[in-house]
Amino acid sequence: MTNKVTLTQFIIEQQREFPGTSGSFTALLNDIATACKKISHYVNRGELIGVLGSAESENVQGEVQKKLDIITNDIMVSALNWTGRLAGMASEEIDEMIKIPGHYPKGKYLVAFDPLDGSSNIDVNLAVGTIFSILRSREGIDADLQDFLRKGEEQVCAGFVLYGPSTMMVLTTGHGVNAFTLDQDIGEFILTHRDMRIPEETAEFAINMTNQRFWEPPVQRYIAECLQGTEGPLGKNYNMRWIASLVAEVYRILTRGGIFMYPLDCRNPEKPAKLRLMYEANPMAFIIEQAGGVCTTGRERILDIKPTDIHQRVPLILGSKHEVERIVRYHQEN
Ligand code: AFP
């Protein structure tokens, strides 16, 4: 145990390379880690503590909330709102931006989070996760909506915690991607995967095939070519996965490559895309690019999008460089 690097040690050592840092960022990451350990405990205990099942309410996205959507959102808010490190928060589960209560000091960071991504998987005991994105704010004053509506390019940190067979935190501060495994015995995240890199080539795709009839021609073309295998223009046999949990799909891509797509579709003209820019696409794009992958809508780099709304949705295509670039090319040729 003695020579293992904890998340806290890793962040402090990384921050030392930037003279003048106040320690506030390290403390914020520790606060997030503490909240996620608590969420891990709830997810792991499941029905033993009566937290599974529907809450029979809807969130701002019009999705039916699980009990754990509400519990995990409360855990994140109450772990972060009093610390003096944040000027505001935004949650996928809450309509308005979350203000820091008046009696608490305001800090210099903003956090946007999805407290329980993939929550439709929770009742069937499959992997779920918490995704977070950190932006800098104006120090000491309440943030307003405009402070949040900034390009993903401006994130100072992004990460997610995957509650799978192991609980893992994947993190980037713009200097590569590292992953930490929660050692349940000592309650610490331990550095286990240094400088993760996504292979540039892949023969594995993840897409919800039941939406096929709603996709645009470039995505139709790409998937049709994958399905032709060695007899088609791509000249190789592909494997398919769909976990319906972005955190689990991204973790798989970080470890063995692959491509994930939730593309534009014409099912509902009011909602041409499903995934959320600020809580899902931006943090995952920062992580994927830092690991050598590519992340796009098909037409535009995710990190270049200027948000117009905190709950904005975007098409999302991410993963192994050469494969994602092929799909971008198909969009251009279209
Ligand atoms: P939930 O959090 O509502 O389960 O949604 C998960 C998610 O946002 C993302 O993690 C999945 O990749 C995607 O939606 C799955 O969507 P489908 O259910 O339409 O396949």
246 pocket-lining for ligand 1 (C-beta < 6 Å) = yes
Give me the amino acid identity at 308: T
31 pocket-lining for ligand 1 (C-beta < 6 Å) = no
* pLDDT for res 23: 87
58 pocket-lining for ligand 1 (C-beta < 6 Å) = no
From 276, 266, 269, 321, select the one nearest 302 (Cα to Cα): 276
Interval between CA 186 and ligand 1 midpoint (Å): 32
User: Do 98 and 76 touch, CB atoms closer than 8 A?
Assistant: no
332 pocket-lining for ligand 1 (C-beta < 6 Å) = no
For ligand 1, atom 1, which residue shows the shortest CA distance?
118
Residue 271: is its pLDDT beyond 80? yes
Residue 210 CA: which ligand 1 atom is closest?
20
Burial 283-313 (b: 16+ CB within 10 A, else e): bbbbbbbbbbbbbbbbeebbbebebeebbeb
For ligand 1, atom 13, which residue shows the shortest CA distance?
244
Interval between CA 144 and ligand 1 midpoint (Å): 29
Going through 96-248 in order, the beta strands assigned E by DSSP cover: 109-117, 128-136, 157-163, 167-172, 177-183, 188-193, 204-206, 239-241
Query: Please, which pLDDT band fits residue 22 given cuts at 50, 70 and 90?
Result: confident
Residue 321: is its pLDDT beyond 80? yes
pTM score, two decimals? 0.96
Q: Which domains does the chain have, with CATH numbers?
A: 7-193 (3.30.540.10), 204-333 (3.40.190.80)
Residue 1: is its pLDDT beyond 60? no
- Interval 25-32 mean pLDDT: 95
For ligand 1, mutation pick of 68, 259, 275 (most atoms within 8 Å of CB): 275
CA dihedral 305→307→308→313, nearest 10 degrees, is: 90
Mean pLDDT, the chain, whole residue set: 95
Query: Please, which pLDDT band fits residue 311 given cuts at 50, 70 and 90?
Result: very high
Helical spans, DSSP H, in 132-216: 145-148
User: Do 149 and 7 touch, CB atoms closer than 8 A?
Assistant: no
Measured CA to CA, the distance from residue 231 to residue 253 in angstroms comes to 25
Q: Please give the structure tokens belonging to residue 177.
A: 């991607």
Residue 101: is its pLDDT beyond 60? yes
Higher confidence at residue 310 or residue 15?
310
Share of the chain above pLDDT 90, in %: 90
117 pocket-lining for ligand 1 (C-beta < 6 Å) = yes
Residue 301: is its pLDDT beyond 90? yes
Q: Please give the structure tokens belonging to residue 280.
A: 């899902």
- Interval 248-260 mean pLDDT: 98
Query: Given its phi and psi angles, is residue 112 left (phi above 0), alpha (psi -120 to 50 degrees) or beta?
Result: beta
Residue 228: is its pLDDT beyond 60? yes
Helical spans, DSSP H, in 46-127: 67-80
The 10s digit of each residue's pLDDT in 286-296 is 999 999 999 99
120 pocket-lining for ligand 1 (C-beta < 6 Å) = yes
* pLDDT for res 60: 74
Higher confidence at residue 103 or residue 19?
103
52 pocket-lining for ligand 1 (C-beta < 6 Å) = no
59 pocket-lining for ligand 1 (C-beta < 6 Å) = no
Measured CA to CA, the distance from residue 27 to residue 187 in angstroms comes to 17
- Interval 138-159 mean pLDDT: 95
* pLDDT for res 2: 65
Interval between CA 65 and ligand 1 midpoint (Å): 13
Measured CA to CA, the distance from residue 219 to residue 208 in angstroms comes to 12
- Interval 22-38 mean pLDDT: 95
For ligand 1, mutation pick of 68, 160, 274 (most atoms within 8 Å of CB): 274
Strands 275-276 and 313-314: antiparallel
The 10s digit of each residue's pLDDT in 239-249 is 999 999 999 99
* pLDDT for res 84: 95
Residue 59: is its pLDDT beyond 80? no
The 10s digit of each residue's pLDDT in 151-206 is 999 999 999 999 999 999 999 999 999 999 999 999 999 999 999 999 999 999 99
Alpha-carbon distance values, 5 to 11, 37, 165 (Å): 10, 17, 21
Interval between CA 122 and ligand 1 midpoint (Å): 12
For ligand 1, atom 6, which residue shows the shortest CA distance?
118
* pLDDT for res 61: 72
Instruction: Output the known binding site.
Output: 92, 114, 116-120, 208, 274, 280
Interval between CA 145 and ligand 1 midpoint (Å): 26
User: Do 261 and 316 touch, CB atoms closer than 8 A?
Assistant: yes
24-45 and 7-15 helices, crossing angle to 10°: 160
Residue 242 CA: which ligand 1 atom is closest?
20
